[in-house]
Chains A and B, each alone.
Chain A
Amino acid sequence: MPPALMWSEVYRPKRVEQMVGNEDVRLAVLKWLQKWVSGTKPLLLLGPPGVGKTTLVHAIATQFGFDLVEMNASDTRNRDSLQARLAPVMNNVSLFGTKSLLFLDEVDGISGREDTGGLDLLIDMMKEPTVPVIMAANVKSAKIKELAKACKTVEFAPVPPRLLLMFLEHVLASEGEKLGPGDKVALVNNCRGDIRNLLNSAQSRAAGYATVSNADVAEIEIQDAINGYFSATSKEKAVQLLARADASFPDPRYQGMDPESRRKDMIAALFSTIVSSQAGDTLADMLDVLSKADVVVGRVGRRRQWSLLRYVSPMLAHGLYDKSRGKEIRYSQYSMPWPVMGPVFARSQTVRKLASFIGPATHVSKRTCSWLVLPYLVREMINEKVDPAEFALANFDDESVGESLVKEIERAKGAKK
C-alpha cells in the first residue's frame, strides 16, 4: 500500500478563491500585486500557523504566472547565502523568461546568531525592491521590527470555527470518511483556527490512530503527559501520551528561552523529573537515553535540520520505557529542590556581580575571575583586614560592590571554621 497522502497537502487550495477565511486579507494582497511597480514596499504577511500564508503566495504565483523564488527557515540565511540567492532575482534576471516573485517564509526565524547579517542585508535590499517581495512571519517579534518598518503589513486572523467545520465536512465527504458530530466539533475547537492542524488531526482520527475520547486529539499538559507516561501500563499508551504532550524540543543555545518555553522543553522536563525521582539502578541508563536524544536536538539547532526532530520523541518514549517501570517517577519542573538551588543561585548573583568589576581590573574574564582570582582576593582581604566598603570605593567607586564583598568574606570565614 502506498503511503497515505497528507490531507493538508491534498486539499491545499491551488487557487486564491478556493481558500478558506481571511477574505479581506486575500483581497488586499491581490490589490497590492496589481498596483505593484518597481520600488513598491514589500508585503509582510503576519499570522498564526496554518491560516494560509504560504498557500496564498503559492496560489498567486501559479495563477498569475510568477516564477516563485522561495526561502524559508530551513535555508541558512546569513548574509552571504542570502546575497547569493537574492541578488540575481533582485537584479531582475528572469530565470525562465517569466516574472519573479520573491517569497521569504518564516522571516521571524532568521537567527541573529546563525544567520549573521541576514536581517541587515534584507532590510537593505527591501528599500528598493525590483521584483515583488512577500514575506511571512508568525508574530511581529522584536527581531523583525526593523524589517517590518520597511514593509506593508497585513494580518491574518485564525479561521473561524464555522468555516473550519464546513471545510472539514467537504474534505471528509471527498475522502468518503465519516466522523461523529462530537468528534468534528472537538477537532475544530482544538485546532485553534489552524487548518493544517485540523486536517492532520482529522486524518489521524479517521485512520483510527487515536481512540474515541475527545480528550485524545487535544494536546496534553506536559506535566500530565509525563506522569501518564511513567505510570502507563502499556507501552503503546505510554508512547502515545508522550507524543501528545504540549511540549517542544528547543535548543537553548540558539533560541531565547522564556519561563514558559523552558517549562515546555520536553528533554529538560524529563531530565528534572528523572533526577528528582528515586530511579536507582537504571538512572544512568535513562540519562543516557536523554543524552543521546539531546545530541539529536543539538544537531537540529546547529544545522537547522528540522527533519531530525521526528526521531527524538520515539527515541525518548521507547528508550525510557523499560528502564522506568515500577520506579514511582513523578513529574518535577526543577532538577534540584529549591532549598538546595536557592543559596547556590543567590551566591552566583553575588559572585557574578563581583567578577564584573574585579575581572576587568585584573585583566581576566568574569569566569576566570570567579574561580581563580576572587577566592584569593577574598582570602587576602581577610588576612590583611581590608575594609570591604573602603576597598570597593577606592577601586570601583561603587558601594554595592562592598556589600557583595562582605557576603563573600563572611562565607569564607564560615567555611574556614
Chain B
Amino acid sequence: MSKKSDLASLMWTEKYRPKRLEDIVNQSDIIKGITNLVRSPDIPHMLFSGPAGVGKTTAALCIAMEILGDEWRKNTLELNASDERGIKMVRERVKEFAASVKLATDKDFDKPKIIILDEADEMTSEAQTALRRIIEDSARTTRFIIICNYLSQIIEPIQSRCVVFRFTRLPKADVIEHLKMIAAKEKVKADEKALEQIYDSTGGDLRHSINVMQAAAGMGAVNAANVNAAIGLSGRSKVGDILKLALAGKFNEARIKLLELTQVYGMSETDFLKYANQEAYDMKLENPGEFAALMAEYDYRLASGAHPEIQLAALLAQLGRLKKN
C-alpha cells in the first residue's frame, strides 16, 4: 500500500491532528484544566462547547488516549448526534456500550469506558432527557465527553452533571503559526497574505483552514488566487452563490443550487441561514437592516414550520423583492 492510500496520511487535518493534550493549538487554560481532571483519581463527565474547528473533538480523543493508552479505541465509543439524532440512537448504542462488562482479567479492567458524543446540540430535548438517565445509570463504568456548538441547546440537567469547558474561537496569530508549521513540514511555500486570507474566510476554523491550505498547495502554491479557488471547493462557498442569485431575482436558479446544497452537501437549513448572514455581511448590501429583518423572520418560521424546503424557498422569493425596493 502506498502511503497516500492511507486516509490519515493523505489528509493533513488527520496527519497533524494532535495526539496529546499539550499539543492542541491555543486554549491553554482549558487544556490545563482538562489535564488536571484527567489525571485526578475520579474523572468527571465533561461538556465541551465552542465553534467548529477549534479542537473540541481532538481534545476528547486526546483524553481517551491519555486515559486508556494504546487500546483506547476498544473502550471508546464515538458518536455523532447529527448522524443519528433521536431517542433510538441514545437508547441502543450508548446503552449497549455503557452496559457491556469488562472481564476482571482484562488489563484495563480498572479503567473507565469513554463515550464521545459529538454535536450533542443536534439532539432533541427528549433524546437528551433519555441521555441524562443513561449518564446516571452508567456512571460506575463510563465517562461521557459531550461536545456541542451551543451550550444553550443542551438541557440543564446534562450541563449540571458535567464539568463544562467553553472553547473559544482561535486567534489569527495562532492559526497562522500552526499553518506555517504544517507548510514547513510539507515543504510548501505559503505567503503571509494568503494565510491571512484563509483565516478570514474560514472564520478561524482550523480544520477548514488546513484543508484550504492543502488544496491550494496542490494547485502549485499557497497564494491568493489558489486560496480563493480552494475555498470555492467547500459546500459553504455555494451559500454565497445562492444568495447572489436570489437577490438578483433568479428564484429558480437559486432554488436548484439550494437543493444541491441541502441534498448533496447535507447542509442543514439552519446552517444555511447562518452562513448566508455571514456572506451578506461580506457582500455589503445596500439595505442590511431590511435584510436582517427578513432573515430573522424566516429563521423563526423555519424553526416553527413543518416544511423547511418551503420556508427557504419563500425566503429566496422575498430576497428577490428586497433588491427591487
Contacts and interface: CB of A to CB of B under 8 A. Distances in A.
Interface stretch (A109-117, A152-160, A181-189, A315-323): A109-117
Contacts of B129: 116
Contacts of A52: none
B236 interface: yes
Contacts of A288: 314, 317-318
A365 B119 contact: yes
B267 interface: yes
Contacts of A376: 11, 211-212, 214-215, 233-234
A117 B90 CA distance: 13
Interface residues of B, number: 69
Nearest to A301: B306
Given A116-B130, A284-B320, A363-B118, A377 B263 contact: no
A384 B11 CA distance: 11
A26 to B, nearest CB: 38
A204 B5 CA distance: 72
Interface footprint category on A: 35 or more
A271 B306 contact: no
Contacts of B235: 370-372, 375
Interface in A362-417: 362-368, 370-373, 375-377, 379-381, 383-384, 386-387, 390-391, 394-395
Contacts of A162: none
B174 interface: no
The dominant DSSP class at the B interface is helix
A284 B260 CA distance: 22
Nearest to B80: A365
A372 B88 CA distance: 27
B113 to A, nearest CB: 18
B40 to A, nearest CB: 26
B198 to A, nearest CB: 13
Interface stretch (A85-93, A167-175, A191-199, A352-360): A352-360
Contact of B310 (A113, A294, A372, A375): A294
> Which of A117, A250, A294 gathers the greatest number of chain B CB atoms within 10 Å?
A294
B320 A113 contact: no
A351 interface: yes
Interface of A: 78, 112-114, 116-117, 250-253, 267-268, 271, 275, 283-284, 287-288, 290-292, 294-295, 297-299, 301-302, 335-336, 340-341, 344-345, 347-348, 351-352, 355-356, 358-368, 370-373, 375-377, 379-381, 383-384, 386-387, 390-391, 394-395
